Amino acid sequence: MQIDRDVRPEHFAQLEGLLYGINYEVWIGLYGPLDAQISLEQALKEVVSQDAVVGGSELAARGVVRSQIMEMLLYPGDPGCGPIDLEAKRAEIITLTRRILSDAHLDEAQEVTSFWFAKGHPAYPVFWDFAYDIHAQGKRWILLGSSSD
């Protein structure tokens, strides 16, 4: 994916840099606050991709979301691909991930929906990916992440 200008907070790039590895790259995106009254698909079309089509969705518990994201970001890979020196960076990865989850208002969420893209994914997921629609404070945040080679 080619990004001309990265307007995300610095800790997003820091996390991605820590997770960079052998045939392995991580991307994290957070969009919001957005209008909670429009459909998820319309929100995605406005801020992620005009081609976005939601393939399916289900409600998710905040604790499950947090655990799933941590598990994916701490994916060790295998000898041919994966982050470099993951264990040495583990504490910093966890700290930055918590900060991003705070930016996404996960702990304050009244509702979280896990979803997947049938079309229009902004990245090229290979090893794992996640997509969450987080509703808090009368707004929505869309948190996306993926890893590729």
Instruction: Say yes or no to pLDDT of 3 above 70.
Output: no
- Can you give the residue ranges of every domain in the chain? 10-148
Q: Return the biggest CA–CA distance within the chain.
A: 46
Q: How many helices (H) and strands (E) does the chain have?
A: 4, 7
pLDDT tens-digit map of 128-141: 999 999 999 999 99
Model's pTM, two decimal places? 0.94
Arithmetic mean of pLDDT, 62-87: 96
* pLDDT at residue 6 in the model: 63
Contacts with 137 (C-beta within 8 Å, 6 or more apart), sequence order:
33, 105, 108
The one-character DSSP state at 45 is H
The one-character DSSP state at 108 is G
How many angstroms separate the CA atoms of 18 and 104, rounded?
20
Instruction: Assign a CATH topology to domain 10-148.
Output: Protein Transport Mog1p; Chain A (3.40.1000)
Instruction: Say yes or no to pLDDT of 1 above 50.
Output: no
Instruction: Say yes or no to pLDDT of 14 above 90.
Output: yes
